[in-house]
Amino acid sequence: MFLNLDYIYSKIYHFFTSMYDFFVGYKSGFSDALFWIKVFSVVISGAFIFGIIYSLVKFFEIRKKRMVDFAKTIIEEPIEERAKRWDKIKKYIRSNNSSDWKMAIMEADSLLDDIVKKIGYRGENLGERLSKIKPVHLNSVQEAWEAHKVRNKIAHEGDRYEISKGKAEQTIELYEKVFKELGYI
């Protein structure tokens, strides 16, 4: 068997020089193709950037509309009624009796439940309704959860659950933050 090394070396040399020419663009239209690839990439990138900006604008419009809907739903209740319910809660929390503090928390939770129902969230109980609220719709949803957990301890443990005045006031402050964001108080 005869092996022509000159022929093999020339083919290897020719392969690498043609690859070099292809990528550098001397003998092929790769530089033209590269130009069109760049143009296409810029157009696609621009379309994606436009899509992202458009989506963000629509997202914030929907969020704003949702907050306006929240406010409209809550404003339907006369301000005197809202003030009366909130003042009752504040009266309970100012007491020196731990039963009144628990009552303030129970009343605040009931008020939150009424508001969440009016807004349109469905579920068997407040816990289920709160789980459907996303932070983009209500920034203080985590505070609502924390306050609701205290209410659950009161409801399930009853007189066995000891609550300090500070903890009760802190819980009412959580409810207050939620009510303010919702425009109730």
The tens-digit pLDDT sequence of the chain (185 residues) is 567 778 888 888 888 777 666 666 554 555 666 777 788 889 999 999 999 999 999 988 887 777 666 666 665 777 888 889 999 999 999 999 999 999 999 999 999 999 888 888 889 999 999 999 888 878 899 999 999 999 999 999 988 999 999 999 999 999 999 999 888 88
Q: What span, in angstroms and rounded, lies between the C-alpha atoms of 41 and 18?
A: 26
Give residue 32's pLDDT. 67
Give residue 153's pLDDT. 95
Give residue 68's pLDDT. 65
Give residue 159's pLDDT. 87
Signed CA dihedral, 41, 42, 47, 53: sign only: positive
3-state secondary structure 10-53: HHHHHHHHHHHHHHHCCCCCHHHHHHHHHHHHHHHHHHHHHHHH
